[in-house]
Each structure stands twice: as structure tokens, then as C-alpha cells.
Structure 1
């Protein structure tokens, strides 16, 4: 549902803000079908964690689409108030909020999992107990392979390992928004930014819950937690990022400008570079600065007065055929450098015989 909502809303934004093929009323109707109805169904499950992730992603999409900032702020404030109300409405949700502030108040009840996660972090220290040597994951910490995998990482790899994992997520965010920056159109930009936002918001919700900064939501850590659906959705979003990256338009560099300026001169066979004034290429010669093939070099000093071999530069006053500019079957202009090296070698072998 998250990926479907993301793609649908990104395409609607392209139609409304850039292409202007739909009016405002049609935009809101399609937005309600593509985003509001699925969000209402997700919230009715209830799944407040997924709702928070999707709403946060939609706010990022609205911001990048140059949507009215006052409307976005209003939606964010109303959404925060509504989320707080829903979190305090039910008993189990209220227990999660209370446990967030003091898990030891109900150590053997709602606060047990969070307290065991704190013990895991405390056991890890700075450098950890070693990869694979966690003790909390053996029936002490509930859902150690899924919701609380971050606590196991803190125990096994320590504070250094936690910082390394956060650095990896930071690199993912940087790469994702860089792809969004150079996307070919608004749809690609919003898809790339939306996928990146989903990654970082979901990681923030999971890590915040494990550290006691947010109520526990049960959302897995992207790419790390065990689970088929979360891994599949993460891989699909990475595929969307790669698809947008392949179509990206990077800024032109000096190398690109130099490469674009390389073209065949119109009937120009004279070298104007310093040190080559007044020289022309003999028919079949190679480019300036390129090593001459062994078969193209003079065989002895006795041949110096004869006609130069292929690939030797001589004065333009000499009456010798020059490199020909031809057009191939596809219409591209080429410089005909004469027979290939293998043909010249066969010719030399026949001459020796």
C-alpha cells in the first residue's frame, strides 16, 4: 500500500502542478481515492505506525511539490494532535506511552521489552560483546530478531557499531535525495524523495521506540529486521530509486563539454597544434601522439629518401595522398586511416617472400 500511494500521489502532482491537465477539484478527488481512503483503512486496523510513516512521506511530497506551506503546516499540526489523541484513547496504546517514560514502573508487564532493550545496550558498551555473542537475544529480549534488532546490534557491536549503522542510513538518505535532485521530471523527483523519506521515517520510528524516545509501534528496521514483507517493500523502493537514477540528468561538467566539442573538422587535415605547424597526415596515418604500428615504421635508413611509410608525418608541400573523410552506412563521418594492421602485416609478409 505504501508504494502504491507513493507512485499514485507523485503522478497526480505531476499532472496538477506541471502538466496542468487536471483542475483542483479533480486533483483532490483523485488524491482522496489514491491516499485518503487507503490511509483510513490502515488506521482502522489499527496500524498507527504505518499511518505515521505514510503521512510523513506525503508531507515531504507536498513540500517538494511547492504545495501551500500553510496548508502543510495545518495538516501536520492536526495530524499530530489526532495521533496523540488516538495514542491515549486505547488502553494498550496508553500503556505504551506511559512505558516510554518509565519502563521500570511496570517491569514485568508493558515495560519488560523496553527494559531488556536497555540492558542490551548497557551490556554492549562502547565496542560491544562481539558479533554473534549477544545474550539478550536468547529468550530475554522479546522480538529480538524483528522490532528490537537495533538493541541486539548495540549489544554485539556497541556504540561504535550503532554509529556505523546510523552512518549507513545517512548515506542512503544522501544518495536518495541526490537522485531526487537530478530526476528528469517531478514524478521521478517525488518518487525518489518519497522512497528515501519512507526509509528514514520508518528507521526513526523503530530506533526511537527502542531507545524510549517514541512509543513502541512494532515497525521493523528497514533492511535489518527479519520479515518477508518489509524486505520485499524495501527492495522494491530501492528498485524505484535505481530506476529514477538511470533517467537522471546530471549537471554538465568540463569533461562533458570537452567531449561534446570533439568532432571531425570540415575538410581539415592540417594539424594546428604547437610543434606540428605545416604538417599533414599521410594516407592511412594514425593520430598525433599515438604510437606507430611496427609495420608502419621505416625498415632502414636507406628508405629515408623514399616515400614515407603509412603513419609518418611530412610537409604539406609534398604531393602525397591525405587521410580521407568518409561517411559510413549510418551517416556518421569517419576518417579513413587505410587498411587495418592485420592487412599491413600480411602485405609485409608477402613482400618478404
Structure 2
């Protein structure tokens, strides 16, 4: 291959040398020595051009090819690690910048060499600016619906039909399947490929607990796909250098969708970035029945509390009830009266006291 390449480069160099000789024939023929040769000067010039061009192609050609090969390999490696969205948006911005530069530099041809230099500078400048601006605004460029006016956005559909992007934690949690089955989530459910990859890694973990959680998440996904017709797998890579949570938020901006999660930290980060979030824990707290102080309920005491004499019980929805004086009734079902309700970020706690104790206090009053 090297020998064939050298032969090809030598032939190309010879042809280039011949072209240079023929193009500058007038200047060469003005030399007195060549003029004295007479009619043989054309042959001398042609032979000299072929020999010089072939020699340059034979010696310099392989070096140039090696440089070009290394440059192509470097550019290819950089392009492989560049996200597809950056490539698309950068190409669009570069094309727009070059078109603007062409329109601006059309009237500069009459300035001579200075006009040519100015046109080259304008082309490079506008091309670079278009490339940089388009990469920085790639989220808006790759989201065409953001170009429309607010009225047209409203005509195209209400906000409730935005795609819902599922987080890994909410899939493992499992309650999302029941919520989807109940019909409270409208619009397409988007499952990113990087979330599936994370679930697969969890399911293949050496830790038994993690492995069971990962397999549970995969089972939940299979159930959702069987019951819902609007499940979509997003195969495109967002940005390989980002973490999963950052990818989710970026994908939500690209698709103009909402992230469905039960991760408290992800919820806060999404609020800071202006990404709408549907938190399953907030939904669970919102649909819990309202309990007011003074209401009576029946609780099964299962363990003692932190304070002296307290007993702990739970409602069917998982709400913890702290019963004052319920420690001695562990393992029994007792009637209690609600004294106060405490709402926290982690959930809701109900404080109560035994109904018999409340009756004794009332009689004492």
C-alpha cells in the first residue's frame, strides 16, 4: 500500500507540476536562455515541470498524507464523544452563520485584495458565532415547540399532555404502575435508555437487596408496558458525561415534559432549574384522609415509642400514630382520640391518647 501510495502521489505531483508550467508558460518563455533554445523550450519546460512535481509528490506527499490521516482520526474521535444534539445544533448554527456572512460580504468584491481578506474574516467570524450560539441554545433549537407563540402552544394542546419521564427510583417504588392503571397520568410515559441501563446494573448487583430492587423495577416496567399503550423508550443519548439525574432534567427540557420521581433531592434540583416534577410521595400525602384533633380511631399498637410510655401504631396507608400511654398495650388493638397532627417532608405523624384515658380526664374536669 505504501508503494502504491507513493506512485500515486508521484503521478499527482507530476500532473500538478505540468499544470504550473503550462499556466506560467508566458513568464517562462521570457527567459533569454530558454528563448535561445528555440522550439525545444516547450519540451524542456514540460519535462522540468513533470520531474519537479513528481519529485515533490514522491518526497512530501507521504508526509502530508500522514498528517491528514492523524487529523481525520482526531476529528473522528472528537465527533464520536460529542452528543448528537451538539452536532445537529452546531451544524444548524454554522450554516446560518455562513449564509449571513455570504449575504454581508457580497458587496465587498470591489475592494480588491482588502475586500477578499475582509470577506474571509467575516465568514470565519459569523460561522464561529453561529456555531457557539447554537450549541449554547441547543435545548431550545432541538425543541421546536418552544419557537411557537404562547397562543399557538395552547392551541396545540393543554399542558397536561406533556410527556412524563420516569425516574429510576419511582420505577423501583412500584406505585407508579397503580397510578397509571387508575388513569390519573395522561400523555406518553417516556422511559430513557439510561434509566433502563441503571436498572440493569442494579439487577446485576452482587448485593441481594439491590438485586431484588432492580428486578422489581424491571417487573414494574413490564407491567406498565403491558397495561399502557403510550409507553415510549427514548433511545437517544443525552450526554454521556452527565449523571443520571442531570440527564433526566436535561431530557425533560428537550422534550418539554415532566419528571416523575419520589427522590426528594432531585425534586429540589428540578425546582431550581425550572423543570416541572410530579412527586409520588407528595401525591400520596395529598390523598391521605384528613384527620382532625378530637376524632376517634382504632389502632393496633405494635411497638414502643421514643418517649416514656408511648406506643406506635400505623394506619393502612402507612401513617404513623404515636399513642401516649400505649406502651403497655403493645400487641393489642385500642381506641384512641387524635390530639394533634404533624406534617413533615417525609410524611405525616398523628399524635393520640387512649380513649379511656381521655374519659378519665374528662370526668376529673
Q: TM-score scaled to structure 2, two decimals?
A: 0.21
Using CA pairs below 8 Å that are at least 6 residues apart, which structure has the higher relative contact order? Answer: 1
Question: Which of these two proteins has the greater Rg computed from alpha carbons?
Answer: 2
Q: Select the structure that is richer in strand.
A: 2
Q: Could you say which structure has the higher helix fraction?
A: 2
